[in-house]
Structure 1
């Protein structure tokens, strides 16, 4: 297991799960992706099961490797997802970037320590290996460039949609359940505090008051 795997699976797994969930939520702000996810009905009917399956897939790929027997099986499943109507190479590349960047960005912002250079390099290696396995175009020479690519993509493609807002309504409670218990009791305000401005605007979420944001930041230091 490489440095990225040890970080998200052994050292700070609870925080990594929150970050991965936030990465998934980020895709709801792209109307084309929201339409596909909404159309399957899985996130609306059983959000916990769907999110658990997504997390299990990504963490298995991170822990076992894209080229492992289980990794190859999961890549085959992702190829099937990629073949759904409405999913282009660019959209799929964005989703995978969100899954890689989500834990890293969350740990940078709220973790007990910043992500190291070695861990970032390993995260980029995972991202590149998975993208190559799926036949997706490269979107950066390192993790920072992947992040810049996603920001440019979001500037062009983020927007409000009824489907995106419905997906957020169905999964925001799941996000709250992954937080420390004192914060989870304050769920919609707490979950809203984890969203940045462009994401809140796309999902129709109001910015919480400053005291709530401060409380959230302090509470998240308890995550491991």
Structure 2
């Protein structure tokens, strides 16, 4: 099944790292004002952020586990198509969101995991992304994992920006990132969460990155994830 190596990575080999990466991918969408406004408008992330994030994660992990073409996968795809049929959410925005949920976990493993993702795992991630994108009738944004990651970087350079919605979402949900981390650093939750943001995303969310020692500590703590 396409994506088998990717499924093993996120479900068996490095599940904790993958969950942090997926959560960070979720947060990354706040940097795009159009997406932030839609998420903010639903109100779910402001009133029940953990429940909303858990539901999103459960859907993605179920799709990864069962495959897009399975009976479970087809039912989830139908639900996703219905839920995301909203004004202001076009195919390009949805393709970016899908990239955040697929590319970001792999990128996080590369940056902080106990090992880097293998070529087979990257190919599997792309195969999963490609299959889900096709099922959702989204535009293709690359022919392999590297091209999708490159497209996302260009998209962010042109579409990231500050918005009241994005900042409100960050304020309501930044604890989700820290809750995924090893216990020793959770008490520093706001600083640790901010340490995981790259400069471009931090600027879009109006977040001041913490001092280098906190970023260093966060990186060391992430090495405890499996």
**TM-score, with length taken from structure 2:** 0.98
1:93-152 C-alpha deviation (Å, 9 max, x unpaired): 000011001110100000000000000000000000000001111101110000000011
- State the 1:68 CA deviation: 0.6
Whole-Å Cα distance in 2 between the matches of residues 82 and 37 of structure 1? 11
Whole-Å Cα distance in 2 between the matches of residues 64 and 145 of structure 1? 25
Structure 1, unpaired ranges of 5+: none
Structure 2, unpaired ranges of 5+: none
In the TM superposition, what are the counterparts of 1:204-215 in structure 2 within 5 Å? 204-215=206-217
Task: Say which of 109, 112, 136 aligns to 2:111.
Answer: 109
Whole-Å Cα distance in 1 between the matches of residues 179 and 209 of structure 2? 20
1:219 aligns with 2:213: no
Task: Say which of 177, 191, 205 aligns to 1:175.
Answer: 177
1:137-193 C-alpha deviation (Å, 9 max, x unpaired): 110111000000001111110000000001011111111111101111111111111
Partner of 1:144: 146
1:22 aligns with 2:7: no
Whole-Å Cα distance in 2 between the matches of residues 53 and 209 of structure 1? 33
Partner of 1:119: 121
Task: Say which of 86, 93, 97 aligns to 1:84.
Answer: 86
Whole-Å Cα distance in 2 between the matches of residues 137 and 91 of structure 1? 10
In the TM superposition, what are the counterparts of 1:31-180 in structure 2 within 5 Å? 31-180=33-182
Contact 1:82 1:88 in 2 (8 A): no
Task: Say which of 4, 7, 10 aligns to 1:8.
Answer: 10
Whole-Å Cα distance in 2 between the matches of residues 76 and 105 of structure 1? 28
SS at 1:188's partner residue?
Answer: helix
Whole-Å Cα distance in 1 between the matches of residues 37 and 209 of structure 2? 25
Contact 1:23 1:98 in 2 (8 A): yes
Contact 1:19 1:103 in 2 (8 A): yes
Moved runs in structure 1, 4+ residues, more than 4 A? none
Partner of 1:200: 202
Contact 1:93 1:131 in 2 (8 A): yes
